[in-house]
Structure 1
């Protein structure tokens, strides 16, 4: 199957490698390869002949500008896909994206989903929980030399490699015309994740529960945990930490 992967970051690079190893004809597209989603430059060439397009791009900002980023880029990608006869558009989104309207980036990702649903091509939306790889950067936003401050937000984080497995299965299957979710095997509160991470790093700073701290302070209840029927990935956070 000929598949175009849009985006070559943490997920896109792994996905392209996995699909290639499975024997698929994979094209990767990003600014570095001359493809500009905002202007549409290079898009027609990138999706030419593709059966499936997988969009794993991120907005360069997480503020209100991300809304216009996704409005423009999804429109350009859907139009290019329609011209090329693409039969399946796949997008990577976020579990709970429709439950946190306080966050600009989540509203932007929800718009991305809505545009895909209203587009001309059969689609699949894969919503993932927060990646293991982002836990330490998340902690750094509200850390200093004396303590780490985190809200007690429930999360079910997942390894990026497990998200790639889910995306590869969806991309090579029939369009879902629906949302599917993927999450890690365990639920933690964010402050628990902080303590587990610091212990693994032999960092003796305390974790202070602060429900006003950081990005996830805006999240209420268990909005970021998956619903029934989610694909639960096998990799556990503690095991992943010991290998990284």
Structure 2
């Protein structure tokens, strides 16, 4: 018989970053206090992001500037998850990479040689400015037999001027040209969540996932067997819940409301 879990059963935490803890480089209400609460209780946690541009050190500095102190070891990016996946699949492999330092450094640390000559795999991540030349090279290498990996499926990303094409849009272009679909490591692939759970030695049955997107955070958390918590400070809003054939276990206006419930448990 399935036993419904509650917040009282949660011992470890995974949380999305943008739309949950921060918005446009500003801390959301209750975010810093929630991190402090987990620390005071000695509860392990990991902050997840599909953004592969930045290293954990970069993100630590950006979060500190917003007023939230999260150590590097508590940040898990799609770049790190992709590098870990590839290290198991192709140890000591060769990769052609379209990506920024967050991705290239993660692959270097995983023992990969980054090259445009006879790579085993083409790895596509987020970049600030996509190069037509680099995309063309990726298409040719994949057509010649290189495997195709993408860090995340997000089709667009935010900027001050409005949305910009992101990894998912560029991978669609490459797929159209090659007929090859990428294996996507980041959310909503539950693999990213399982790698995060392994990182903090946690079990899905006693872990909660906090997110602002039903189509990535919540569905992947659900499929990974975690207690799912939706907050309305990001993408998904209350009026759009009916669009989805699944539900979060709990929903909150924001992490400040969640924190109040957690305090009531003590």
TM range, smaller chain? 0.3 to 0.5
With the length of structure 1 as denominator, give the TM-score of the two structures. Answer: 0.37
Normalised to the residue count of structure 2, the TM-score between the two structures is 0.35
